[in-house]
Each structure stands twice: as C-alpha cells, then as structure tokens.
Structure 1
Amino acid sequence: MSDKARRRRWQSRLGWLLIVCGLGLIGYVAWQFYGTNIVSARKHREVTTSLQEQWKAGEDFAAVDEMKADALLRVPRFGKDYVVPILQGTSDDVLASGVGHFTETASVGQVGNYALAAHRVTHGEPFRDMPDLEVGDEVQIETRTRIYTYVLTSGGDALVVPFTSTWVLDPLPTNPDGGIQPAQKPGQKLITLTTCSELFHTDNRMIAFGRLESTEKK
C-alpha cells in the first residue's frame, strides 16, 4: 500500500472518530437538558406521592432512596399545578429529586432562616422561572400538619452573589456590601431561595428573601 493510500485511510478513520465524538457530545448535552428533566419529573411525582401517603399514615416524613422528604413546595407564581417535594440536604441526589433544604438552617416556620436550593436547568428545573418572582409573591410550604405561607421581600433576580457567599444562609442574612438583605430585625422567621443565576455554568447564585406571613393548621 502506498503512503498516499495509508494517509487517506488514517484521515478517513480520524474523520469517523470525530463524527462519533461529536454525536456523543450532542447526546450528552441532550441528556442533560432533556433526559434529566424527564427522569426528575417522574422522581418528583414519586416522592410527592410517597410523602402524602406517609402523612395519611401519621408519619411526618417519607424515606425515599435513603433521602428524607418532609414538605411540599408550592409557588402560585409558577402555576396552580406547581408542586415539588422538599428533601433534607443539598446533595446531587436530593437536587435531582426535588428541592433541597440546607440542614444547617432553621426548620420551616421557626425563628431563623429556612433556606432552600434547587436547579434552574436540568433535573426537573424547579427554579427555572425564579427570575419571574416579584416582591409580595407567596411561597407556600406544606407539612403533615400545617401550611406555612411566606411572602417575598426581594425579587427573584434582584440579588446575585458568588457561590462562596454563605452569608445568605445565616439566621439573619446581612449583606456585607450593604445591598439587598432581609430587614435587620432579630427574631424573624425568614425563607431564602437559591439557584444558579446563569443557565450554563454555576459560579453565581440567584437569591430571593422572604418572611413568614401566616401559619394554617391542616
């Protein structure tokens, strides 16, 4: 075989290899932006159903795949059918199954800061429409015995911070730059929503603050 023929053969093989790699990359991106949403939407329904069944049985939480779900999140701004389970922790598995509660922050309805995190893209996208949230919007947390209604005091995209800005999880978040923050009054019952501010990387976080407005017994 001539050198020219060998070069053509290797060029052909390299071309096919590049095509296969390109198709693999397209498939990976498609899975991240579409496949994970399908799987997570199914998981959200599964966890929600399991939790509601446990509530009927008198239990406060549901154990699903070694994760603990104890509440349901509803945000009227996101639509009347919007409901997502809240699980303890913020691991990858938790955030693929619903909304995560930072366990080092206050419990729902308690004095302090009840902080939640969720994906904005992929894995069900619970907080995809967070930029649409406005001051005065309600965030409802349902547990076995009560419904807690928080009212936002800042808009969904009004505050963006680096992912290292852990002050937003403090019992009374105080902005070191003097910008958007909850009213600086000790003893409040607050809520903080966090998600990625950009759609295609995760260096920054979008933050919304709120305060407890009412508690209703079920």
Structure 2
Amino acid sequence: MRTLIRLFGTALIIAGLLVAGLATYQNWQHDQAYGRAQRDLRAQLAHPVTGHDEPAVATGTSRTRAEPRPRDASALAVLRIPRFGSAYHPVIVEGVTQNDLAKGPGHYPGSAMPGEVGNFAVAGHRTGWGEPFRKLNTLVRGDALVVAWRGRTYTYHVTGTRTVDPADVGVVLPVPNKPGVKPDKARITLTTCADRDPLTRAYTHRLIVWGERDDH
C-alpha cells in the first residue's frame, strides 16, 4: 500500500510538472506570435495605405471631414506610457476580438479615434500574448498616456482607475458611465483583466484606467 501511495504521489508530481511545462511552452508560443505580429504592424505603419484611406487634415481636436473607419486587425497607432520605460511602445490594432488582441492592444470599434472629442477606448492582455497591459495596475493619477497616430502625437493624463464587473460596458461610453451624454473633451480608456481571484485564481473582474487630454 505504501508503495502504491508513493507511486501515485510521484505520478501526480510528474503530471503537475507536465501541465506547468505545457503552459510555459504555450505562453512562449503566444509571446513569439505576438512579437511577429507587432513587427508586421510596425511595417504597416511605416508603409500606410494611400488612396481612399488618405487621412483628412486634422484641425484642433477633430478631423475636417469624415474618414473611412480603419480596417479590422489593421495597425492603428502606437501607445507609449513613460512610466513603463522607453522600450514600451506597442502598436494598437483595430478591433478587440481574441485574434486582434493576440497581436496587440485593440481599439474598441466605434469609439473615438486618437485625439478626438469622445472616448478613445483600448483593451489589452494582462498576461500572455506579450502582456502589453501587465503593469497597468501601477499607473497613478497624472501619469502620461501618449498616442501617436497619423503623424501626430496626443498626450492624455490618467484621471482615475477602477475595478469593475466584465459586464459593465458603460466604462467605454463617450462619457464613461453616462449614457446619452454628449462628450465635451477627448478621453482615453484602457481596459484589462484585474488581479486574479485569490480563491479561484481566475480573472473575474476588469481593471479600468481613464485619462483626459489636457492640451486642447
């Protein structure tokens, strides 16, 4: 009986090591794929599509004429957060599907574009797939959030953070949590997973970071 117990215990340990090893390998694969996707996205930004996608001349905080919305999964802008260091500059993609977020932080379709009056809302992974928002919980009020888009740079500053239920979609409204209210300033919202539940080890809530442009 003791021998059987030892063998069973050894089998459990081996199984645990195999599961951990597989998870580590899968995370490595995801990170490698993220790196390749980011390189491709940077190439897109370096060689933008011309013609019908040619941007209008921007004036103040809005564009002078309506422009086509960006294509799903295409490179949109570059995000810089000085608190995270000079090496932090992920390319934001258009869209927030799982496939989109595997490439980089994703812009919520239909939300404002960078620098516009409204809410420029972006989601990103906290763990895996490059972990672009891993340190989002370290941001504090006043931290800069810099978005480079179509030759212009827009700087927002953090105004607050909150942990919410995943079903709370009001956080990405044009005026967060105020349905139907017309926006009067350019805002940014970053969303990601909050800390794991200490009991289930699952990500059950979302971390929200809000910011506003203060240079217009």
Q: TM-score, normalised by structure 1?
A: 0.75
Q: Mapping of 1:59-78 within 5 angstroms?
A: 67-78=73-84
Per-residue deviation, residues 59-111 of structure 1 (Å, max 9, x unmatched): 66997xx7211211111111112111111110111111111011131222112
Secondary structure of the equivalent of 1:54? coil
Find the partner of 2:193 among 190, 193, 196. Answer: 196
AA partner of residue 191 (structure 1): I
Find the partner of 2:170 among 144, 167, 172. Answer: 167
Answering whether residue 122 of structure 2 is matched by residue 119 of structure 1, we say: no
Structure 1 position 50, deviation (Å): 2.6
Give % identity: 34
Structure 1 position 151, deviation (Å): 0.9
Preserved CA contact (<8 Å) 1:51 1:62: no
Preserved CA contact (<8 Å) 2:75 2:93: yes
Q: Mapping of 1:62-211 within 5 angstroms?
A: 67-154=73-160, 158-174=161-177, 186-199=183-196, 201-211=202-212
Preserved CA contact (<8 Å) 1:115 1:169: yes
Find the partner of 1:43 among 37, 42, 45. Answer: 37
Q: Over alpha carbons, which structure has the higher Rg?
A: 1
Secondary structure of the equivalent of 2:137? helix
Preserved CA contact (<8 Å) 2:70 2:94: no
Change (3 A) 1:28 1:168: same
Partner of residue 25, structure 1: 19
Q: What is the rounded CA distance, in whole Å, between the counterparts of 2:54 and 2:32 in structure 1?
A: 29
Q: Structure 2 regions of 5+ residues with no counterpart?
A: 56-68
Partner of residue 179, structure 1: none
Structure 1 position 160, deviation (Å): 0.4
Preserved CA contact (<8 Å) 2:41 2:74: no
AA partner of residue 210 (structure 1): G
Preserved CA contact (<8 Å) 1:51 1:70: yes
Q: Structure 1 regions of 5+ residues with no counterpart?
A: 1-7, 177-183
CA RMSD of aligned residues (A): 3.2
Structure 1 position 53, deviation (Å): 2.6
Per-residue deviation, residues 134-164 of structure 1 (Å, max 9, x unmatched): 111111111123111111111xxx4100101
Structure 1 position 35, deviation (Å): 3.1
AA partner of residue 122 (structure 1): G
Preserved CA contact (<8 Å) 2:146 2:154: yes
Secondary structure of the equivalent of 2:214? strand
Q: What is the rounded CA distance, in whole Å, between the counterparts of 1:62 and 1:207 in structure 2?
A: 24
Q: What is the rounded CA distance, in whole Å, between the counterparts of 1:133 and 1:202 in structure 2?
A: 19
Preserved CA contact (<8 Å) 2:91 2:105: yes
Per-residue deviation, residues 21-62 of structure 1 (Å, max 9, x unmatched): 545422331134433223212322231233223279996699
Change (3 A) 1:206 1:18: same
Preserved CA contact (<8 Å) 2:174 2:182: no
Secondary structure of the equivalent of 1:201? coil
